[in-house]
Amino acid sequence: MNYEELRQFFLQHLPQDLYVYNEFHALIDYVGHHFCRREPNCEICPLKNELPQQNQMKEES
């Protein structure tokens, strides 16, 4: 899934509410900043069951 597909998915599934968009963005930013680093911390990531593991992503690229 590329960026535009993901963006469209969330636009279609989130309520059209600026507060919700801002909160969602802040939470995704938080996860990226704290868990998706040069040395990812997938084991304790709150989205670990929703996202591919680091090793899977490396194999696919």
pTM over 0.75: no
User: Contact 32/23 with Cβ under 8 angstroms?
Assistant: no
For 9, 25, 51, 55, the CA distances from 59, given in Å and listed in that order, are: 25, 28, 14, 6
Reported confidence tier of residue 56, pLDDT bands at 50, 70, 90 = low
CA angle 22–7–12, rounded 5-degree value: 85
All residues at 6 or more sequence positions from 44 whose CB lies less than 8 Å from its CB, including other chains: 35
Going from N- to C-terminal start, the domains of the chain cover: 27-61
pLDDT tens digits, 5-27: 988 999 999 999 999 999 999 99
